[in-house]
Chain A
């Protein structure tokens, strides 16, 4: 389908290779790469961060997942808030990497408990992690994990870390629709 609907202009008319086929050259042939350009927009379909659609709408999605990225700052908020990406902000790369590390760490330590995504806020030196967790553990275990996480992340990142925990009794609490 793609092959048929693509229209391209070729500089070298000797070749009849469509621009969307990459590679798969026959052995031994010496085809030179020809520069060309597309004039249709059909291939420019944005598919980033859209949840997979199922036939019978069985895929549960949260508010965050149903809204694609162009809705950030319109209908969605930012999951990590810090000054690193402002004009003249510093340390944006390191902050991003640290955020990734924190997310992976929390997902592993609080296994199957985190609903939705973790929210990371930075206030000067302090890192504040907020998240929704499921009530499948006894409360004393929650406290154990909180104490452990705060302490060990502080040792790793050398900043004080605070966790704000909110619990839900229903695993589907954050699901808003099915896709």
Chain B
């Protein structure tokens, strides 16, 4: 319960008497003292102003994912794919619920809410048989219910009642904007789906029906029709209407002219398009319609889509000057098109981005044109191509100030922006700064794609910054780069090149084992046959890494996995690695492992290692047990041993000869094997 106490004043201070009942004791006594008590006016506020004020106190939590995701370690998305899938699954759940609501409204009638919440109610669909009037039509228009509006119009028409022109025009607006189809359920879809929607096509002529029924076809009605037709790719009909307008010497609104300008794309060459645009502009001037931001933005759009020649650039420059003269501040889409004209590809004036950024500074930006969100990702990719880190930082400070990050656009653009930024940082900055940026962005704001990640690891290798290896290893698994086997190949390639200090090597070994485990779990699933093939270097490198640690258990696991996956592995085994392993096994006197190694090589149709092992064993008086087992393998697989008596010639690869002799030396100095 909240108690509100209001004080009512005396008559003296009010123009309208509030209390005029004898409350006047003080009036004659202390007139002088009774100063006018001015109650300050209530500060006007919107319905959501308080919420906005409170939300302005909240910054971003660096460790948290986006607030739409569930805050649980299992359910936080690790990579771009997951982010997309999770939000789309949630949307899909909502759609499923809406389906039930639509199909079975009889189960949702219990309503004890007071006041009624419209959002949770069954959306009424108007029917031809219902008795509808203009009010219903207006309600439908207000709630953006196109189907209802169309039905209402038809019903009213059929009943022979009149509808005011104003209503007709607002109906026309909504029908043209949405192309006579039900307004799509936007929600999250726009932010997350990367494909650009295909150009919409004019669907039904209901709009023409409404248009014809207008008693007075003024410029506004024509503008609405033309704008709608242009938006939905029915340009010829728009031009027909435009001819009608010219005949009647009517003046379109600025929206109509903007649509006609955008329709100039139909001209195939720059000259055609420019002449069309000039015609429209002269008409605008003739009817004294001032241009607005959209006008300029559309012209820039057309220019950007033309092939960039000197003439195009001249016109663009002229337009910028015009814009300044008209006192219209360019929006981000204008800047984006400038970039496309001057900086993309031809690099006629690459530093234009610097000028644009200087112009923008750290201003508070807002979405003023539908293509504003293209700017940031485009700009960052240009910074990347110019390899200018300072420019990138400037751009990033613009994005980070106020709430400009909202203009980064859909996830695709956001990803491109951060990817370019991060690539640039990896290229230009020291490893410490790079990792600082890495910790800041990954994984909640941005997850690098595979190539960038490999670049990062290469940079770490270059700078010999071993302290970051554990983080990178754990992120490789956490961010699920192992999904693509090429990534595993490249990753292990880099890791196997060097032997790290002890604690770090431990992390690396664990990572290798986890990767093996992942491969195993992937192949043990039902659709193992559909999996991509693995490159044999994955296993080679894993064995190489693990052999540094001399942990034979783990090596045995890898070898057994190798045998298991024989069919999905591309490429020949690296015999060098195998030989090294054999030597290690001999050194550690582990006959079991020798057998394992041999089995693996035999599975891969290699005879040389087996032959060598047999030779060495015989030479060093290995235990009978071991020899027996080797015999087993030989007989089981029907192998013909290579002859090792002639050491220099029998090896299949010439490069092995030098190593072979050294191996031999080792074998001779080695002890006899037991087990």
Contacts and interface: CB of A to CB of B under 8 A. Distances in A.
Given A156-B110, A158-B111, A165 B70 contact: yes
B108 A155 contact: yes
Interface residues of B, number: 31
A107 interface: no
A169 B100 CA distance: 32
Interface string A142-179: 11111111111011101100001111010000000000
B94 A135 contact: no
Given A139-B75, A139-B82, A142-B75, A155 B93 contact: no
A90 B89 CA distance: 38
A158 B117 CA distance: 7
B112 interface: yes
Interface in B516-563: none
B27 interface: no
Interface in B84-111: 85-87, 89-94, 96-98, 100-101, 107-108, 110-111
A167 B71 CA distance: 10
A147 B72 contact: no
Contact of A139 (B86, B93, B110, B111): B86
Nearest to A161: B120
A94 B112 contact: yes
A167 B100 contact: no
A140 interface: yes
A148 B96 contact: yes
User: SS class of chain A's interface: helix, strand, loop or mixed?
Assistant: helix
A53 interface: no
A139 B76 CA distance: 8
Contacts of A165: 70, 72, 75
B97 A159 contact: no
Interface string A110-149: 0000000000000001000000000100011111111111
Contact of A151 (B74, B77, B85, B94): B94
A145 B94 CA distance: 9
B82 to A, nearest CB: 7
B94 A167 contact: no
Contact of B93 (A125, A146, A154, A167): A146
Nearest to B111: A158
B75 A143 contact: yes
Interface string B617-637: 000000000000000000000
Residue from the set A142, A143, A148, A156 with the largest chain B CB neighbour count within 10 Å: A143
B91 A139 contact: no
B193 to A, nearest CB: 16
Given A152-B101, A165-B72, A140 B112 contact: no
Given A140-B85, A142-B70, A166-B72, A151 B93 contact: yes
Contacts of A154: 119-120
A151 B96 CA distance: 9
A156 B113 CA distance: 11
B98 A151 contact: yes
Given A94-B112, A139-B74, A152-B100, A147 B117 contact: no
B93 A143 contact: yes
A150 B90 CA distance: 10
A151 B120 CA distance: 9
A148 B93 contact: yes
A147 B74 contact: no
A135 to B, nearest CB: 5
Nearest to B116: A158
A102 to B, nearest CB: 14
Nearest to A139: B75
A156 B94 contact: no
A148 B93 CA distance: 4
A155 B90 contact: no
B92 A151 contact: no
A139 B88 CA distance: 12
A141 B89 contact: yes
Given A146-B70, A158-B117, A140 B89 contact: yes
Nearest to B87: A143
Given A94-B112, A154-B120, A155-B120, A147 B91 contact: yes
A158 B94 contact: no
Contacts of A149: 93, 97
A149 B86 CA distance: 15
B90 to A, nearest CB: 4
A154 B90 CA distance: 15
A144 B70 contact: no
Contacts of B111: 158
A147 B92 contact: yes
A123 B254 CA distance: 49
A143 B89 contact: yes
A158 B120 contact: yes
B112 A143 contact: no
A145 B120 contact: no
A158 B85 contact: no
A144 B90 contact: yes
A22 B489 CA distance: 80
30 contacts: A94-B112, A125-B113, A135-B74, A139-B82, A139-B86, A140-B89, A141-B89, A143-B70, A143-B89, A144-B89, A144-B93, A144-B96, A147-B93, A147-B94, A147-B97, A148-B93, A148-B97, A150-B97, A151-B93, A152-B100, A154-B120, A155-B120, A158-B110, A158-B111, A158-B116, A158-B120, A159-B120, A165-B72, A167-B72, A169-B74
Interface of B: 70, 72-75, 77, 82, 85-87, 89-94, 96-98, 100-101, 107-108, 110-113, 116-117, 119-120
Given A144-B89, A148-B94, A158-B117, 17 more contacts: A139-B77, A142-B75, A143-B75, A147-B89, A147-B93, A148-B93, A148-B96, A148-B97, A150-B97, A151-B94, A151-B98, A152-B97, A154-B120, A155-B120, A164-B70, A166-B72, A167-B73
